[in-house]
Chain A
């Protein structure tokens, strides 16, 4: 999967949970889920569960704590996909 494809998939996943439309429209690798998109902690769990379903991977507690931006989410997804 290319980087752009991965970002596009993530964008679809986070869309239902974002509160900042402008930040969402400008979403890039550097976008932060909490400070930019204003996703709350309960919805961040939803994002992670949806990421697990979409990519058929399992995210652990340690990964969850790191998964706070598009970049870190991409790193974790790629790492988990590589382990499969």
Chain B
């Protein structure tokens, strides 16, 4: 299953798709990147005259690449173009270390911790272009084909 095939099965679209490409994919982990658009809608309000990517959006980016894309790959034999996977975020615990400014490219690296009974739990890290750790945490979701 290729990066494009996985992304085409994602249930997101603009302005809430935070995956550009997946660069490494296995059933134990995944790596991908996303470049935040300079004119993304949330910069108008976060913050007033001082645009910084909201932590919830960084968490969403980590969840989309690190949990949902990985979950689709793990369930590749059961998902098809006709059966879009159903997903739900069930828990997240994230610590933040650095800000991400408009236009920055971030890389997400996720390691599978457990996948049982349709629940996928991952350890996810997000890095900036200088390869500095921006945030990391544990995110879980349920996925059904």
Binding site for B on A (CB under 8 A): 40-43, 45-46, 48-49, 61, 64
B116, B140, B141 — which one has the most chain A CB atoms within 10 A of its CB? Answer: B116
Binding site for A on B (CB under 8 A): 88, 90-91, 114, 116-119, 140-142
Structural contact, B116 and A42, CB atoms closer than 8 A: no
Across the interface, which residues of A come within 8 angstroms of B140, CB to CB? Answer: 42
Across the interface, which residues of A come within 8 angstroms of B116, CB to CB? Answer: 45, 48-49
Look across to chain B and name the residue whose beta carbon is closest to the beta carbon of A41: B142
CB distance from A69 to the nearest CB of B (A): 17
Report how far A59 CA is from B32 CA in the complex, Å: 33
Q: What are 21 A-B pairs at a CB distance below 8 A?
A: A40-B90, A41-B142, A42-B88, A42-B90, A42-B91, A42-B119, A42-B140, A42-B141, A42-B142, A43-B90, A45-B116, A45-B117, A45-B118, A45-B119, A46-B119, A48-B116, A48-B117, A49-B114, A49-B116, A61-B117, A64-B117
CB distance from B89 to the nearest CB of A (A): 9
Q: Is the interface of A mostly helix, strand, loop or mixed?
A: helix
Report how far A45 CA is from B113 CA in the complex, Å: 14
Look across to chain B and name the residue whose beta carbon is closest to the beta carbon of A52: B116
CB distance from B59 to the nearest CB of A (A): 17
Report how far A61 CA is from B117 CA in the complex, Å: 7
CB distance from A51 to the nearest CB of B (A): 12
Look across to chain A and name the residue whose beta carbon is closest to the beta carbon of B141: A42
The 9 closest A-B pairs by CB, nearest first: A42-B90, A45-B119, A45-B117, A42-B142, A64-B117, A42-B119, A45-B116, A41-B142, A49-B116
Report how far A61 CA is from B116 CA in the complex, Å: 9
